[in-house]
Structure 1
């Protein structure tokens, strides 16, 4: 059964690697799928396409600069046996020469999708020596930082022309929820209540147009900010937060912080985190 969109391949591939012990998140710094096993530094990266093509190969080669554990994943459609992108023996040989792993996803009308590993990456490794090569500010370090800073998997790998829920957007949503409940507030107050240490930078940069300054050191939510809380209501509700469109955001009486995630999330600088948007 042919798929219409790349996103239809994401859920089966995600479930496959979760069963192998990976924590998986989609659309992390332009990678369709990123997975990390507890205690490991080498990320799993999967690039997803409906069909095997040159663009997929080039993406895979680029990802090998970030990790040795890179797969490309495509649909396997039994109705396309003669198609160029279904000549699996030749494609497996190509992937092995390049050091890429190759996955296929077969969809059925009445059965769950089947994920098959046709070949594994050439030399995935995660020894201590290799982990030490993660340099601060490198693309790999930014990938790992973004992965760990996100509270969950709110994006579908393979998505195009969609607003992604990045770590920075989560942080801005925390500030917006706090500001909605307070009406007006100072950055220091929002930093404490929303558990976002860089709340002042979020307000001042105002990348999304969600905030406006009403007086020196005082901010309020704009109509764009109110709309954003409605747009991302599912993300907030996933962490037990209800905005003013439903109920007031809940405050922890002991810490005075909004209960948006299980624990406050630590973020790095605004400029670095905003690169994904």
Structure 2
């Protein structure tokens, strides 16, 4: 069992509060946005048990969010940190909410986040909002640590690669549906593209392999 086992029930809980939730954005296990101008940003970090590392992650995330939630499995005998008054008081002073996930994946609110005004990091917050809004669907379960994260950039690069499976293409032909195509082709972060001619690009073998590795990630991207 790992942190990703907590993702689905906690996501469902946060969606019930009106947030659109996606996993693994900007190093955060979960980021939720609620409609507004600017949107309300909530960050939730996941651990299999409540511990100091989870609190420290929350401290790091506070400047980029309006609310921070910490979620972990409830201990089998009720003797974990969630029952420790000192732990709860620490989180209360920091303004963090605590969510306990039972063995049956029920989410219990152990502590609601306080409306404290944390020091904001506008640039970091903006990056989280941009990545959340650009990412298609929710392809990465929060808590993932051992496999590449399906970021918005990777999704866009895969869409470019898919568009070239039938032959070389010009960036200007792809730009109407892929606004970032020029930047993606020039940077070529993953080595998926090669210049076939002046102003014309083709897909490499590694690009074709990537399309086989993530076959669902290009559906509906080139319409």
Q: CA deviation at 1:178?
A: 0.9
**What whole-Å deviation, never above 9, does each CA across 1:245-272 have from its counterpart, x for those lacking one?**
xxxxxxxxxxxxx22xxxxxxxxxxxxx
**Partners in 2 of 1:11 and 1:78 — Cα distance?**
20
Matching residue within 3, 20, 24 for 1:23: 20
**What whole-Å deviation, never above 9, does each CA across 1:28-81 have from its counterpart, x for those lacking one?**
1011011111225220100000111221111100111112300111100323x3
**Partners in 1 of 2:125 and 2:116 — Cα distance?**
15
**Partners in 2 of 1:27 and 1:212 — Cα distance?**
30
Query: 1:167-186 to 2 correspondence within 5 Å?
Result: 167-181=152-166, 183-186=167-170
Q: Which runs of 5+ in 1 are unaligned?
A: 242-257, 260-277
**Partners in 2 of 1:148 and 1:197 — Cα distance?**
14
**Partners in 2 of 1:212 and 1:107 — Cα distance?**
50
Query: 1:56-135 to 2 correspondence within 5 Å?
Result: 56-79=54-77, 81-83=78-80, 85-108=81-104, 113-123=105-115, 135=122
Does the CA contact (< 8 Å) of 2:73 and 2:100 recur in 1? yes
Q: Looking at secondary structure, tell me which structure has more strand per residue.
A: 2
Does the CA contact (< 8 Å) of 2:43 and 2:69 recur in 1? yes
Q: CA deviation at 1:86?
A: 4.4
**What whole-Å deviation, never above 9, does each CA across 1:183-229 have from its counterpart, x for those lacking one?**
1112212223xx11221221111001111112221211111111111
2:23 partner SS: strand
**Partners in 2 of 1:124 and 1:36 — Cα distance?**
18
Matching residue within 41, 44, 47 for 1:43: 41
RMSD over equivalenced CA pairs, Å:
2.0
What TM-score, normalized to structure 2?
Answer: 0.92
**Partners in 1 of 2:79 and 2:172 — Cα distance?**
64
Is residue 233 of structure 1 aligned with residue 218 of structure 2?
Answer: no
Q: Which runs of 5+ in 2 are unaligned?
A: none
**What whole-Å deviation, never above 9, does each CA across 1:91-113 have from its counterpart, x for those lacking one?**
221210121111110023xxxx1
Matching residue within 24, 29, 47 for 1:32: 29
Q: Which residue of 2 aligns with 1:216?
A: 198
Q: CA deviation at 1:232?
A: 1.2
Q: Which residue of 1 aligns with 2:174?
A: 190
Q: How many residues align?
A: 221
